[in-house]
Amino acid sequence: MQVIKRDGRKQKFDKEKIVTAVSKAFISVDGELTDNFKKKAIEIADFIEQLDKTLTVEEIQDIVEDKLMASNRKDVAREYIRYRYKRQLVREGNTTDKNIFELLNGTNEYWNSENANKNAKVVTVQRDYIAGITSTDITKRFLLPKDVVEAHEEGIIHFHDADYFAQNALHNCELINLQDMLENGTMINNILIEKPHRFLTAATIATQIITAVTSSSYGGATITLTALAPFVRSSYERYYKKYKDRGESKENCEKYAKEDTKKEIEDGVQTFNYQVNSMTNTNGQSPFLSVFMYLGETEEYKDELALIIEEFLKQRIVGLKNEKGVYITQAFPKLLYVLEEDNIKEGSKYWYLTELAAKCTAKRLVPDYISEKVMKENKIDQNGNGQCYPCMGCRSFLTPYVDSEGKPKYYGRFNQGVVTISLPDVALSSKKDMNKFWEILDERLELCHKALQIRHERLSHALSDVAPILWQHGALARLEKGESIHPLLHNGYSTISLGYAGLYECVKYMTGNSHTDNGVGKDFAMKVMQRLNDKCKEWKKEEKIDYSVYGTPIESTTYKFAKCLRKRFGIIPGITDRDYVTNSYHVPVFEEIDPFTKLALESEFQKLSPGGAISYIECADLTNNIPAVLEVIKFIYDHIMYAELNTKSDYCQVCGYDGEIKIIDKDGKLDWQCPNCGNMDHAKMNVARRTCGYIGTNFFNQGRTDEIRNRYVHLDNHEA
């Protein structure tokens, strides 16, 4: 008789192990093992042996349980079941222990490259990862049903942020209501923070709010600079009064007050940048922050807002210094610059800001660009009005919403979480049978729906006390102590995201064409996207929860999905032979396509990703060709809602080379090397690359590195 072990190995059945296990159960209950009960243990072992067939360990244990439950010693049966469960916990716990020890020893590839903005060697990051490993273990064993866990493990779906799911109060990302918190005050660590009286103070308080808020959530956060604009005027008025009290003329009062205000803005923005990049939240990292620059948000303080935007852009062009004292590209905050009538045309009032933004993008990869024109066409609220507002973090967009007074509301709202479907797995599972494809897609979408419902349900039990900065003191709400956040999860106030990945691979496998063609490939891709949206609308109608299709910014998951596809289906040329799958609806990175065609095409898919999406073009060094950047910016304004230009910004600390650090293949592993001096020490080079909307500065896993290596340059110096 053969036994199949848990690792798949077969070995000869040893009935003494059964006798020992059953005997231990009797001893645990009775304190001793009588001859009669020893005989019972042998009887059960003999019965199994006489079956004389190959059984798994679990099947044998099931038989033992059944035999004990059928006897008059059900108490012993229960003890055996408890013992079996404890052994299971030990086995599964060993995986957790192994992950933790590998993390601490620096030998776990996944944790070393899980996030391109986290350094797994740093104790604050390790603390977050250890908590995450434990949370993931609890999530998989206790909080999620077996089918969801299995689908996640096999790369059929991805249940995002399981490392934070054990806490039932954590949501994904948000638009911080900074204006409310600055104007009406807030509380941080039980200390009342009152309304500031000048810009410098407001900018400093803003960074403290950002750190506190992002410590109570796990995704990206966004603030608008419009919230800081009134405090520029407050500072100006203070300076004007100072000079007036000195007896200066009106002309001098205005002149000196403007000079002092300008200097204060410089100091305030510098403080903001230092704080955001030096403060560490409880996630072990700088806040994943985006800053919104939208002149159209205010008429009253538009000139003050323009001064702040200008200073943010100027300081970002300069950059922050590395340990060698050299200015390099910083990762945060991500800058979101809105293109509008007042700044998109040469000669318009704020065109100078757009020129400055173009220089900043060429040098430092940001800002990214939101077209007010296109967004207002895509985002229509319940009153039929087009709206323009920022994403939460890198790309997650809220759905249009008006409050009980009929006014648009975005700041103070949030996303509940994400579950992503692997579209290539759906396609490969169908074996190119179209009917089977749609059947499997619907089944997988319902599995995602089930997982999203679990996310929603867990968050719905939270009370405002779990994160006072969020729910009681203005970041997201002003609820009473002990009040439930449940009403904020329904009727459009917050969203929950159905993510998707690998549209290209899905379409390529099913049709033989890329979704970039204008025939069967694109048509099929549009039908797939529409099915995702139809499902979200169906769920929303039934549950009053704003499900929304989301172009997932998979980072480590791009590698995971690729490996899972190869494991499940083998190597299929053009589909599973790379270490990554294509992000969301994007044109595959290796496809040769001109930048304007790419942006125009992807714009159509952005409309079908209302929960979040961003497009990009890959560029050569354009620091000496700003007119080319401006042409792309103008095209974005007319054709696509949200896009970015990916440039490169590197520095070798060994030789001072500031060109592109290259990716090389060394003994079958991808790594980074300075082409000037050959330096390969990550600690002695600065590399900045866009990964998933954010700039990554801490290197990447093998899958993402392979994707970066394969990126086709859509706009090079010759074409520009």
690 pairs with which residues across the strands? 695
Please give the full DSSP string across 270-319, using - where no structure is assigned: HHHHHHHHH---TTSSS--EEEEE-GGG-STTHHHHHHHHHHHHHHHHH-
**Backbone torsions φ then ψ of 385, nearest 5 degrees:** -100, 140
Token pair, residue 323, equals 């340990």
- Report which DSSP code applies to 141: I
Closest by CA to 387, choosing from 378, 405, 396, 395, is 378
Do residues 454 and 533 make contact, with C-beta atoms less than 8 angstroms apart?
no
- Report which DSSP code applies to 32: S
- The C-alpha angle with vertex 527 and arms to 523 and 532, in degrees rounded to 5, equals 150
Token pair, residue 180, equals 């409310």
In whole angstroms, what is the distance from residue 407 CA to residue 224 CA? 18
Active-site residue set = 172-173, 392, 394, 396, 415, 550, 555, 693
339 pairs with which residues across the strands? 371
Do residues 440 and 426 make contact, with C-beta atoms less than 8 angstroms apart?
yes
Closest by CA to 595, choosing from 550, 548, 632, is 632
Radius of gyration of the chain (CA): 29
Question: What is the H or E stretch that residue 388 is in?
Answer: none
Do residues 334 and 289 make contact, with C-beta atoms less than 8 angstroms apart?
yes
In whole angstroms, what is the distance from residue 717 CA to residue 704 CA? 25
Residues 6+ apart with CB under 8 A from 82: none
**Backbone torsions φ then ψ of 549, nearest 5 degrees:** -75, 135
Do residues 134 and 96 make contact, with C-beta atoms less than 8 angstroms apart?
yes
3-state secondary structure of 396: strand
**Backbone torsions φ then ψ of 293, nearest 5 degrees:** -120, 95
Do residues 116 and 555 make contact, with C-beta atoms less than 8 angstroms apart?
yes
N-to-C CA span, the chain: 73
- 3-state SS, 519-545, equals CHHHHHHHHHHHHHHHHHHHHHHHHCC
Residues 6+ apart with CB under 8 A from 247: none
Token pair, residue 63, equals 């038989």
Length of the chain: 720
Do residues 103 and 120 make contact, with C-beta atoms less than 8 angstroms apart?
yes
Token pair, residue 427, equals 């396609």
